[in-house]
Structure 1
Amino acid sequence: MKSVFKKLFLTYTFIYTFSFFAQAESYQISLLTCDPGDEIYSVFGHSAIRIIDQETGEDIVYNYGTFDFNAPYFVVKFTQRTLDYMLSVTTFDRFIYEYQYFQRNVREQVLDLNEEQKLEVIKFLKINSLPENKLYRYDFFYDNCATRIRDLFEEVLGKQLKWNEINDPEEKSFRDLIDEYVYPLPWYDLGIDLALGSVIDAKASEREKQFLPDYMEMAFERASIEGDGPTRPLVKSQRVILEFPERNLSGSLFNPYLIMWLIAIIFMVITYLGYKRKRLFVGFDVTLFGALGLIGLLVAVLWFLTFHSQTKWNWNILWAFPGHLVLVYGLLKKNASAWVRKYLMFALIMADAAVVFWILGWQSFHPSLIPIMLVIILRTNFLYYNYEKSKSSIKLK
């Protein structure tokens, strides 16, 4: 009797094991890397996981980069970093349609996983896609559509996954990495440099660079699996799914560099005329410091009232300071106020400090801001020495 049970047990174990590995053998798992688009949310590219069941023909994509545009208070949540992203599951045809429509290149890397590893990846994704698990708090550098995939394979493969990092990699800060993508889009570049603080001037490790889909694609190409047989590359094969002619992002005259220098020239001219005619032309300063105060208010909100780690320690606040709005009030008063001159000296010191911070490398500011900082230094100097005299002459009249 015991021998009969033993035979049945061995037979069942063999059948289960055989069906287990046969099922896994039918799956193909690959990494999809999508080139950048023209919108701010797509300018850094995208990553997703494709799973094909070659027996049934099922072809699905797991996508960590989706969110609900119709979520209540969407803009507020997005700004505060309280908007949840989600893992969505869709068919490959539906996924690829968007990239076909917007003419964005898509590449595929088929991964050389063994049967057990394939099933572990599928199990991980299915559990992750459950309603109670699919939402996560997005972080651009540390928890996004690319890093989630990287973390998945590190979890499944463990010490078997070797990234084979470059021995002498080029040192790049997080800001340098962003600039590679937004440099052709100068207004996006300026906006990002205004919003993000000195923390993104830190050097990124090779692993940290994988927050960008292109860098993760290169990391997967270098990676290998060892410990379950002969060491083999992580990527078994790769191909181009969609390829379009290279986009020609021609520069526009309406760019921050030209605009900022035009503003600087205008203020140089009115300062010269003001010196000659003994006038302040305070309307220009009201516009300038009003705009700077509003920018400073945004910087302060992003620094102190949101959960973004990258908007902290933003020294743009030295030249774009919310208190400049109070200066606007002082400049509009008919009678001179002693505090206005003191504030002008404070604003001058703050602008000078911003230049020092830049030179010392404590934070890299956008190059188009050079003329604006020069204007602040010029006008605070001019107003400091002429404010009370000009207001007194108006009062005497």
Structure 2
Amino acid sequence: MKSLLKKFLLIYPFIYSVIFLVNAQDYRISLLTCDPGDELYSAFGHSAIRVVDPTTDQDLVFNYGTFDFNTPFFYVKFTQRTLDYMLSVSTFERFQVEYNYFQRNMREQVLDLNPDQARRLVLFLEENYRPENRFYRYDFFYDNCATRIRDAMETILGPQLDWNEPVDAELKTFRNLIDEYVYPLPWADFGIDLALGSVIDRYATEREKQFLPDYMEAAFGRAMVVGDGPTRPLVKEAQVILDFPPRESEVDLFNPYILWWVFAIAVMGLTFVGFRKKRLFKGFDIAFFSVLGLLGILIVILWFFTFHSQTKYNWNILWAFPGHLALAIGLYSGKVRPWLKKYLLLALIMANLALVFWITGIQSFHPSIVPLLLVILLRTNFLYYNLGKFIPAKSG
């Protein structure tokens, strides 16, 4: 009995949606756009499709932005980009309760589709919701909850859909677009800029900007339906469903901008004292370059051993380099071998090269790494000229 009940609960949403789609005759279809939340996973907002049958009052939301936390090796798959997202179906009431609870604004754009277009879109969603079709390989920029809806509209309307793109739109890179949303989350902003490579520093087209729900909402608001009678706007009605007062932003002093500058000033003081007292304070360099080396290993893993296209060609590796672990080990050994000074010179050159890459626009780095680069330049230079003086060289 329990087994039968469990199976019924698993297939109930699919049965419910099929009954809804078979019985419905006249659909009211709209795009739902939800504002960003406070956590990183919700920082970019959300999009979903609402389908209402006015004759039966059935009201469903098709949501491409869901995933299963119980997936085996969830975080490993998320990191490697082998985690599948899925299309889910819920009632609008349940969908609204969640966003009301987290006090996230929600807007609705009712689409001006003719009956045949609306029917084909609903059948398209129903086909996507079949168990063998509902899962897809998520890509933040090119295949997410927003782009899936855009692609569905292009599939159904074809050449009848004119995005009516502005000719004087502001040029923005993918990194610029991300920064607009993660600026209130400084550590997330730092982590994203550290993990993503130069491939996201190209300009996004107006269509590509639609990976962000706010930009897709604006695109739907401009779009026109052509070749189906008189040209008409895609959106015939817009309304606000949830509207909350703006939240007061709190200034967190514990952020990378302040922390790294405080760190850099402290290292300057440490280096000055070391120069005056003829001490290297190697313990600091061992710890510092070990951390940079571990960050470098992470960058290598994301670059070469995952399926993320956005983590390729990440020139943060010029300052957070895996070889810095060898430098830390060499300093820890207490022996001043010839290769140590050569490596210090290499590290100094790579840090300068990172600045060149930044200035020339090859890759945009997070602004807070400036003090970290200064620390690398300071300590590699200090060690290069003083390693043999303060610690007698040993043979071998």
Partner in structure 1 of residue 6 of structure 2: none
Partner in structure 2 of residue 330 of structure 1: 330
Partner in structure 2 of residue 176 of structure 1: 176
What is the CA–CA distance in structure 2 between the aligned matches of 1:247 and 1:266, rounded to whole Å? 35
* Cα drift, residue 337 of structure 1: 1.4
Partner in structure 2 of residue 58 of structure 1: 58
Contact 1:348–1:377 (CA<8 Å) still a contact in 2? yes
Partner in structure 2 of residue 140 of structure 1: 140
**Partner AA of 2:345 in structure 1:** M
Task: Name the stretch that deviates more: 249-258 or 192-201.
Answer: 249-258
Contact 1:47–1:213 (CA<8 Å) still a contact in 2? yes
Contact 2:24–2:55 (CA<8 Å) still a contact in 1? no
**Partner AA of 1:121 in structure 2:** L
Partner in structure 1 of residue 91 of structure 2: 91
Partner in structure 1 of residue 373 of structure 2: 373
Task: Name the stretch that deviates more: 288-297 or 74-83.
Answer: 288-297
Spell out, residue by residue over 1:171-199, the C-alpha distance to the aligned partner (whole angstroms, 9 max, x if none). Answer: 00000000000112111110100010000
Partner in structure 2 of residue 351 of structure 1: 351
**Partner AA of 1:362 in structure 2:** I
Secondary structure of the structure 2 residue equivalent to 1:59: strand
Contact 1:24–1:116 (CA<8 Å) still a contact in 2? no
What is the CA–CA distance in structure 1 between the aligned matches of 2:186 and 2:326, rounded to whole Å? 31
* Cα drift, residue 83 of structure 1: 0.3
Contact 2:25–2:53 (CA<8 Å) still a contact in 1? no
Contact 1:197–1:363 (CA<8 Å) still a contact in 2? yes
What is the CA–CA distance in structure 2 between the aligned matches of 1:125 and 1:85, rounded to whole Å? 15
What is the CA–CA distance in structure 1 between the aligned matches of 2:336 and 2:153, rounded to whole Å? 67
Partner in structure 2 of residue 102 of structure 1: 102
Task: Name the stretch that deviates more: 86-95 or 384-393.
Answer: 384-393
What is the CA–CA distance in structure 2 between the aligned matches of 1:297 and 1:382, rounded to whole Å? 25
Partner in structure 2 of residue 282 of structure 1: 282
* Cα drift, residue 226 of structure 1: 1.0
Quote the RMSD (CA, aligned, Å): 1.2
Within the alignment, does 1:295 sit opposite 2:295 as a pair?
yes
What is the CA–CA distance in structure 1 between the aligned matches of 2:107 and 2:137, rounded to whole Å? 27
**Partner AA of 1:308 in structure 2:** H
Contact 2:50–2:62 (CA<8 Å) still a contact in 1? yes
Calculate the TM-score normalised by the size of structure 1.
0.92
* Cα drift, residue 311 of structure 1: 0.3
Contact 1:108–1:241 (CA<8 Å) still a contact in 2? yes
Task: Name the stretch that deviates more: 128-137 or 334-343.
Answer: 334-343
**Partner AA of 2:264 in structure 1:** A
Partner in structure 2 of residue 251 of structure 1: 251
Spell out, residue by residue over 1:36-60, the C-alpha distance to the aligned partner (whole angstroms, 9 max, x if none). Answer: 0011110000000000011111100
* Cα drift, residue 276 of structure 1: 0.9
Secondary structure of the structure 2 residue equivalent to 1:99: helix
* Cα drift, residue 287 of structure 1: 1.5
Contact 2:106–2:243 (CA<8 Å) still a contact in 1? yes
* Cα drift, residue 251 of structure 1: 1.4
What is the CA–CA distance in structure 1 between the aligned matches of 2:153 and 2:379, rounded to whole Å? 56
**Partner AA of 1:337 in structure 2:** R
Partner in structure 2 of residue 214 of structure 1: 214
* Cα drift, residue 26 of structure 1: 2.4
What is the CA–CA distance in structure 2 between the aligned matches of 1:211 and 1:248, rounded to whole Å? 27
What is the CA–CA distance in structure 2 between the aligned matches of 1:136 and 1:279, rounded to whole Å? 58
What is the CA–CA distance in structure 2 between the aligned matches of 1:256 and 1:180, rounded to whole Å? 17
Contact 1:24–1:115 (CA<8 Å) still a contact in 2? no
Within the alignment, does 1:114 sit opposite 2:114 as a pair?
yes
What is the CA–CA distance in structure 2 between the aligned matches of 1:100 and 1:287, rounded to whole Å? 46
Which of structure 1's runs of 4+ aligned residues deviate more than 4 A? none
Contact 2:52–2:60 (CA<8 Å) still a contact in 1? yes
Contact 2:260–2:371 (CA<8 Å) still a contact in 1? yes
* Cα drift, residue 390 of structure 1: 1.9
Secondary structure of the structure 2 residue equivalent to 1:262: helix
Contact 2:24–2:56 (CA<8 Å) still a contact in 1? no
Secondary structure of the structure 2 residue equivalent to 1:48: strand
Within the alignment, does 1:229 sit opposite 2:229 as a pair?
yes
Q: How does 1:163-202 map to 2 (within 5 A)?
A: 163-202=163-202
Spell out, residue by residue over 1:55-96, the C-alpha distance to the aligned partner (whole angstroms, 9 max, x if none). Answer: 111100000000010000000000000000000111111111
Gaps of 5+ in 1: 1-22
Secondary structure of the structure 2 residue equivalent to 1:227: coil
* Cα drift, residue 333 of structure 1: 1.0
Figure out how many residues of one structure are paired with residues of the other and give that number: 373
Secondary structure of the structure 2 residue equivalent to 1:392: coil
The percent identity for this pair of structures is: 66
Partner in structure 2 of residue 8 of structure 1: none
Q: How does 1:313-328 map to 2 (within 5 A)?
A: 313-328=313-328
Secondary structure of the structure 2 residue equivalent to 1:41: helix
**Partner AA of 1:190 in structure 2:** F
Partner in structure 2 of residue 3 of structure 1: none
**Partner AA of 2:376 in structure 1:** I
Secondary structure of the structure 1 residue equivalent to 2:204: coil
**Partner AA of 1:310 in structure 2:** Q
**Partner AA of 1:237 in structure 2:** E
Spell out, residue by residue over 1:339-391, the C-alpha distance to the aligned partner (whole angstroms, 9 max, x if none). Answer: 11111111111101000000000000000000000110110000011112222
Q: Greater CA radius of gyration, 1 or 2?
A: 1
What is the CA–CA distance in structure 2 between the aligned matches of 1:203 and 1:144, rounded to whole Å? 19
Partner in structure 2 of residue 388 of structure 1: 388
What is the CA–CA distance in structure 2 between the aligned matches of 1:24 and 1:100, rounded to whole Å? 28
What is the CA–CA distance in structure 2 between the aligned matches of 1:326 and 1:97, rounded to whole Å? 54
**Partner AA of 2:53 in structure 1:** D
* Cα drift, residue 24 of structure 1: 6.9
What is the CA–CA distance in structure 2 between the aligned matches of 1:358 and 1:26, rounded to whole Å? 55
Secondary structure of the structure 2 residue equivalent to 1:65: strand
Contact 1:106–1:243 (CA<8 Å) still a contact in 2? yes
**Partner AA of 1:150 in structure 2:** R
Secondary structure of the structure 1 residue equivalent to 2:30: strand
